[in-house]
A = this chain, B = another copy of it.
Amino acid sequence: MDASSPATTNLELVTIGTELLLGFTVDTNSAHIGRVLSDRGIRITRRTAVSDDPAAIRDAIGAALARTGAVLTTGGLGPTRDDISRQVVAELLEMPLVFDESVWQALVQRFARLGRVPAETNRSQAMVPTGGTILSNRWGSAPGLWLESPRGLVIMLPGVPVEMRKLLEHEVAPRLADRSTGLVIRSATLRTTGVAESTLAERIGSLEDDLAPLGLAYLPGTAGVDLRLTAWQLPPGEADTRLREGVDRLGAVVGPCAYGEDEADLAAVLLDQLRAKGLHLAVAESCTGGLVAGRLTEIPGSSDVFLGGVVAYANQAKIDLLQVPPEVIVRQGAVSAETAEAMVRGVQARFGAEVAIAVTGIAGPDGGTPEKPVGTVWFAFAIGERVESVLGRFVGSRSEIRARAAQTALFGMLGRARGDRSP
């Protein structure tokens, strides 16, 4: 560490792009940057999104530098004409742009590997503020920039998610670590599903005070409520100890609705549980139409537990592929306990799986009736010879109903595989 570098503990994020404000792009970069930097003890104190307007970019970066002294920007480094942030920052920091032959050559070579030549518009990507450090981008055409000036530190990254992530990991995080105080901001999450936020808050009650100095946040989402504990700028050992203890105490009060910690995916938790018991899983899906299988196969290594699935969207497919008796569909309807149970037996037999899940329901927006409104979903679970069916009722858009139904299917199987009391 250069002894003259000031410690960086707070940083502001400025995201540049008219599209982000118009709302046609969801900003996933900011969350990623928040997680990566928090874990290195750097707190993002504010995030500002501005359009591709030079005055707004200048104002936002200038105010952030004045307030916090360190800014990370994303966006505005690409080859197209709406990308102007490089120039604005060069003027703001009084570090005039110069054409950098090494950046240009790297760009030419990158294009050559893809069998192409750079467009004339790419030349602007080789313009670098005088005195700035180039953060070499091996994953795309626009390099990042690390600019130290009397007004503070400005780090500029491209907005394309894969390039931003790689540069953050390989170029930015190590440089920031050199400027760290040694304290960290760390979080730990207990993930729950199937219980309302206010019910969790009642169960947790005064435990929240006991957990200080850890902060507790409730994060409701389609898949359930996450309970997040955060240690702010503590020594790493103390942060980890307090978080471990805090998660255990939270888990004890919230009960079996907690299915995992941190990034735990319910699908991965279920696969681990089944793997430990030597069980293999098959899935029959109607209204979720592949989402349950998609959740499972998203997990690397799922193939040793998950044998496969049938998306039996049409009734005829339920009959042909899953041996659902046609009279069950006629009499009870495709969305019924009987159909779900027949589907689960059918898919279990078809794949020779010890355990199986079936989902059939009405995701909407059409197809609801007074008796079976949109959001009505029947689940069936087979474990060996035993089959159980459960009715779920969900609210929200088609997409939310499908996502909640997929989560409930996985959670229902997990509870049964763990031997919890049936929910």
Contacts and interface: CB of A to CB of B under 8 A. Distances in A.
Interface string A353-375: 00000000000111000000000
Contacts of A321: 308, 310, 321, 350-351
Contacts of A122: 198
A118 B289 contact: no
B399 A298 contact: yes
A48 interface: yes
Given A121-B198, A300-B398, A317-B351, 4 more contacts: A30-B49, A81-B216, A289-B293, A310-B321
Contacts of A189: 24
- Greatest chain B CB density within 10 A among A35, A219, A297, A303 is at A297
B219 A25 contact: yes
Contacts of A78: 197, 218
Interface in A282-328: 283, 285, 287-294, 296-298, 300-303, 306-314, 316-317, 320-321
Classify the secondary structure of A's interface with B.
mixed
A256 interface: no
Contacts of A187: 22, 24
A250 B23 CA distance: 22
Interface of A: 17-28, 30-36, 38, 43-51, 56, 60, 78-82, 116, 118-119, 121-122, 141, 160, 162, 185, 187, 189, 196-199, 201-202, 208, 215-221, 226, 228, 230, 283, 285, 287-294, 296-298, 300-303, 306-314, 316-317, 320-321, 350-351, 364-366, 395-400, 402
Nearest to A396: B162
B31 A35 contact: no
Contact of A56 (B32, B45, B50, B160): B45
Contacts of A293: 285, 289-290, 293-294, 311, 313
A23 B35 contact: yes
Given A48-B46, A79-B197, A23 B18 contact: no
Contact of A317 (B43, B294, B307, B313): B307
**Nearest 4 CB-CB pairings of A with B:** A23-B34, A289-B297, A290-B293, A290-B290
A398 to B, nearest CB: 6
Nearest to A198: B119
B141 A198 contact: yes
A348 to B, nearest CB: 13
Contacts of A311: 283, 290, 293, 297, 308-311
Contacts of A301: 366
Nearest to A139: B395
B313 A310 contact: no
A228 B365 CA distance: 28
Contacts of A216: 81-82
Given A201-B80, A283-B311, A311-B290, A226 B24 contact: yes
B46 A49 contact: yes
A362 to B, nearest CB: 11
A307 B27 CA distance: 35
A400 B34 CA distance: 21
A38 B24 CA distance: 10
Nearest to A287: B297
Contacts of A56: 45-46
Contacts of A17: 217
Contact of A19 (B228, B300, B364): B228
B366 A300 contact: yes
B31 A28 contact: no
- Greatest chain B CB density within 10 A among A30, A43, A50 is at A30
A108 B208 CA distance: 25
Contacts of A19: 217, 219, 228
B24 A298 contact: no
Given A23-B35, A321-B350, A398-B300, A218 B30 contact: no
Contact of A38 (B22, B160, B402): B22
A289 to B, nearest CB: 3
